[in-house]
Amino acid sequence: MAIATINPATGETLKTYEPLTDEALEDRIARAAQAFARYRLTTPQERAGWLSAAADVLDDDIDAVAELMTTEMGKTLASAKAEVGKCAKALRWYAEHGPALLEPEPKDAAAVGAEQAYVVHQPLGVVLAIMPWNFPLWQAMRFAAPALMAGNVGLLKHASNVPQTALYLEELFRKAGFPEDVFQTLLIGSSTIERVLRDDRVAAATLTGSAPAGQSVASIAGDALKPTVLELGGSDPFIVMPSAHLDRAAEVAVTARNQNNGQSCIAAKRFFVHRDVAEEFTRLFAEKIGALTVGDPMDEGTQVGPLATESGRDDVERYVDDAVAKGAQVLVGGKRVDRPGWFYEPTLLSGITPEMDLYLEEVFGPVAALWTVDSLEEAIEIANSHPYGLGSNLWSEDAGERERFIRDIASGMAFVNGMTTSYPELPFGGVKQSGYGRELTELGMREFMNAKTVWIGGPSSEQGERSTAGSAAE
């Protein structure tokens, strides 16, 4: 993929970029390593101040940045503004809570024969972030805010179709007053990632993307003995039981599937509805999907814009056509929109069977797949048969069903009577082929930190006496 801004609402190429030369890339990695040598010595309070300043910059830039994201990947302008606001919130959360989270953790000194014993969390160094285009500001911020609070330095390899948003992120942290080169954007192609990841000056990597991309990065990082965090997509189940408030569940289901034009890893994609309420829920769901306004993402009234890339639109079309050819029923939508750009109708399919490609794959577009089930157990069994395990949703007022769902669903996140969403206050990540590691909260900060054990003895410490008495030294 060329490094270029191509407006998905029109197909027009607006701006292209040349990838960094080998010499320019070497210079940026060297500068990142030099920046870390200085930045790691800054105080958590200083970093918190810069994060807070970055949030203020985002507040000032919200209109321009939102329009930029809409132009580059087609999200509606309203959702783009919400994304900018969410990034500012995350920056402020880490600014407020980060210093306390970095305080040494005292341990039981007497139990280990010391005068003092504690754990300090220290940054690893330069971290490579490989990010996708669908939430071009937020997904990069999920990495950047905790990493910078921790004292790490960031190198961002963003998706090639959002280069202007990627460059803005570097400018954002510079405008906020962070030391020079603490966060840099690398305009490089995917073929160059291995060189950066294998560089001894790069300590770790994080990737949000496809399972094959995750396998490649994990393999390279494993060979180099470097830690990684992987968020590799999902096909989240959305289970509706008889006790659910059906109208509310259907309303949220439409948003959960079609948010970001259907291009979200944590979008609900597979809908399992109990037979007792299947007819009514399906009617409500279909009506609400059919009422969505598809159009120019810059228009205030638009609810669903184009797919971000032409190949993405073609993939969605292929999944739907394959399912229909194998017996699926189209209840709503089911075809591309006859207009310039890469639009596809919000779609609802039923009659899904294992022979269909979408049964075990992620459809990254506004297509909902509907199952009718006879029990919660059946819904969970089908849901868990999928290789992904990112988020999950249950709609039920029954306490026993909620307990069984939380216990048995194979996912990194379980939301009951609500839509799967990311918050800085909650860990974010999945299991199985949805990846490993966690973003956000203190967990996201500590993924790229060394938990260093500190033991301090003195005249009254007992360790030497214990060792002399024959206790194990290891």
Single out the catalytic residue among 265, 345, 362, 442: 265
* 3-class SS shares of the chain: helix, strand, coil, % to 5: 45, 20, 35
Q: Do residues 118 and 105 touch, judged by C-beta distance below 8 A?
A: yes
Q: Going along 46-195, which residue ranges are E strands? A: 105-106, 116-123, 126-130, 153-157, 183-185
CB neighbour burial string for 392-407, b if at least 16 within 10 angstroms, e if fewer: bbbbbeeeebbebbee
Q: Bridge partners of 285?
A: none
231 is catalytic: yes
The residues, any chain, with a CB within 8 Å of residue 219's CB and separated by 6 or more, are none
Is residue 87 part of the annotated active site? The answer reads no
DSSP string, 369-403: EEEEESSHHHHHHHHHTSSEES--EEE---HHHHH
Query: Does an H or E element contain 305, and which?
Result: none
Task: Please state the φ and ψ torsions of residue 326, each to the nearest 5 degrees.
Answer: -105, 15
Which one-letter amino acid corresponds to residue 322?
D
DSSP state, 296? Answer: -
Instruction: Name the active-site residue from 231, 317, 401, 442.
Output: 231
DSSP secondary structure code for residue 160 in this structure: T
Q: Are 358 and 264 in contact (CB under 8 A)?
A: no
Contact 251, 261 (CB under 8 A): no
Coil, strand, or helix at residue 77?
helix
**Pairwise CA distance, residues 268 & 258, whole Å:** 9
Q: What are phi and psi of 176, to 5 degrees?
A: -75, -10
Give the whole-angstrom CA distance, residue 396 versus residue 405: 10
- Catalytically annotated residues: 231, 265
